[in-house]
Amino acid sequence: MSFAAIALASASLLILLGAYWAAASPLPEEIKPDAGEKIEDMFPSHTQHFPQLKQTLDSSDARYVSRRGSKDLERLWRAERSEILRSYVRGLCADFARVMRLWSILQAHSPNAVKAGESDWRRLALHFRFFYRMALLCIELRGACTLQQLARLSAYVGSLSALASSAMARAGYAAVEAELKNDTIA
């Protein structure tokens, strides 16, 4: 085997290991518990702001600022937009962490209710972690990421939230059904 083939195989293995790490290892926000949260507060709050963010980051504004403004103004404008992006992406991560905590609570208290969506849940969580890390990397390197990346992250959090809602509904239905079985007319 030639050196080039070994180098290519080693590089491929490193890329695969990096992608696996990016998708499988928990985010820091997932690890730190937030005691005292109510169930209602565990649903996402940032995904609803995506339309406003999309409008804020419109590329026609960038063209206008670059044509009409000074280089300092353009640099400040880009720095402000990067900070807005960074804040939104981190907010999505906080939403993701809260929904993950909600799912773990549902797993602990109603394991049968979460079985139906468990494979989808794992897949969506892996995708979110991977694309979240890629979006942060893009923001750090270029100062921006694409609206498609933001839409994808928002959709993952929304889908996870929908799975959690349906599991909660199944858990509630199962609890009501069990209560009805216990109530007998004497």
Determine contact, residues 44/95, Cβ cutoff 8 Å. Answer: yes
3-state secondary structure at position 69: coil
* Cα-to-chain-centroid distance, residue 104: 16
Residues 70-111: tens digit of each pLDDT = 777 777 877 888 888 888 888 888 889 888 888 888 888 778
List pLDDT tens digits, range 54-81: 666 666 666 666 677 677 777 787 788 8
User: What's the total number of domains in the chain?
Assistant: 1
What is the pLDDT, as a whole number, of residue 117? 80
Q: Taking the model in full, what pTM does it have?
A: 0.72
Residue 126's domain spans which residues?
3-182
pLDDT at 118: 86
User: At residue 79, what are phi and psi to the nearest 5 degrees?
Assistant: -65, -40
Nearest alpha carbon to residue 164 among 111, 119, 121: 121
Residues whose CB falls within 8 Å of the CB of residue 181, separated by 6 or more in sequence, listed in order? none
Q: Say whether pLDDT at 179 is over 70.
A: no
Pick 29 or 142 by higher pLDDT: 142
